Amino acid sequence: MPRTFPSQIVGFLVHHFGDKSSIPTVHVDKVGIIAAFIELYDSMPPELIRLSTAEYSQLIAAVGQIRVALDQWRQTRQADSFIGVPEAFRAAWPMIKKLSDSIPAATHDLGFISDGVLQEMIALDVSAVTTDLQSGEWKSATIIAGSCCEALLLYGLQTVDRRTARTIATAVSAIAWPARRPDPLDPTLWDLFAYTEVAHKIGLISDDTKAELGPTRQYRNLIHPAKTVRQNVRCDRGTAYVAIGALEHVISDLRKNLKASR
């Protein structure tokens, strides 16, 4: 089942009821809406439900009441099954509205990124990777993890280059590139392969992390449908875990090495 985000559930409620204060007495003609609400709620990733104990209890009780009313109507076809449903919707609505569509990456210490805006952007993407993994969205988890690796390595390289001028240019010149050499003056145009090679050359990432980034780079390219068809490779649980493992180690290496070089 596709995952649903809190904002989508709120949008669904607004579309059908206007606002929580205007929910009318629920009649049999609203059964489809009630059933759809339960399906949407059940497809919301549970890790997005971050509420206080009291708020969580209110939400679960309200949804439970709606669920029981729907089950009762299915068994009896009695209209009075829905007597308490409007109040339950009014209780659940503000709780769902409090929820965020993304999970803060609290388990990842990105404090080595001095740019607050960039830190937040990458943290949200790392959170999205976690959500996609738990939801079985293998392609999204794989590709976003690879994208996070690119962003983190670019930040790391630019940070080191600001501290010691021409670090990037020196490393690029010292590497025997199998194809066209990347432009040392504009690393924002590089791909994950170039970021990996230069970051490893200057000691920003370990040998193991470099090895993990090899397949991650190949999976990252599966964002292009033509490559998926040509290479006959699809993202799955394995590609997601490989890419996420590489991301975890990139974060660990940068946290250690950027802090050490200050």
Task: Note whether 247 and 148 are within 8 A (CB).
Answer: yes
CA-to-CA separations, 140 to 44, 213, 244, in angstroms, rounded: 17, 17, 11
**What residue spans define the domains of the chain?**
6-98, 116-260
Nearest to 88 by CA among 12, 34, 11: 34
Mean pLDDT of the chain: 87
> 6 pLDDT exceeds 80?
yes
Nearest to 87 by CA among 148, 139, 24, 37: 24
- What pLDDT score does 250 carry? 97
Start-to-end CA span in the chain (Å): 47
Quick one: what percent of the chain has pLDDT higher than 70?
88
What single-letter amino acid sits at 105?
A: A
Q: Show the tokens assigned to 259.
A: 């802090």
Band (pLDDT 50/70/90 cuts) for residue 221 is: low
Nearest to 240 by CA among 137, 153, 147: 137
Band (pLDDT 50/70/90 cuts) for residue 26 is: low
Determine the Cα–Cα distance for residues 44 and 261; give it in Å rounded to an integer. 42
> 228 pLDDT exceeds 60?
no
**pLDDT tens figures, 101-141:** 876 544 568 989 999 999 989 988 998 888 788 778 888 89
Determine the Cα–Cα distance for residues 209 and 244; give it in Å rounded to an integer. 11
> 150 pLDDT exceeds 80?
yes
What single-letter amino acid sits at 100?
A: S
What single-letter amino acid sits at 107?
A: T
DSSP states along the chain: -----HHHHHHHHHHHHSSGGG-----GGGHHHHHHHHHHHHTS-GGG----HHHHHHHHHHHHHHHHHHHHHHHH--GGGGTTHHHHHHHHHHHHHH--SS---TTS--TT---HHHHHHHHHHHHHHHHHHHHT-HHHHHHHHHHHHHHHHHHHHHHHHHHSTTHHHHHHHHS--SSSPP-TT-GGG--HHHHHHHHHHTTSS-HHHHHHHHHHHHHHGGGSHHHHHHHT----HHHHHHHHHHHHHHHHHHHHHHHHT-
With vertex at residue 43, the alpha carbon angle to CA 40 and CA 48, rounded to the nearest 5 degrees, is: 105
- What pLDDT score does 80 carry? 87
Task: Note whether 49 and 56 are within 8 A (CB).
Answer: yes
> 50 pLDDT exceeds 80?
yes
Task: Note whether 105 and 126 are within 8 A (CB).
Answer: yes
> 226 pLDDT exceeds 90?
no
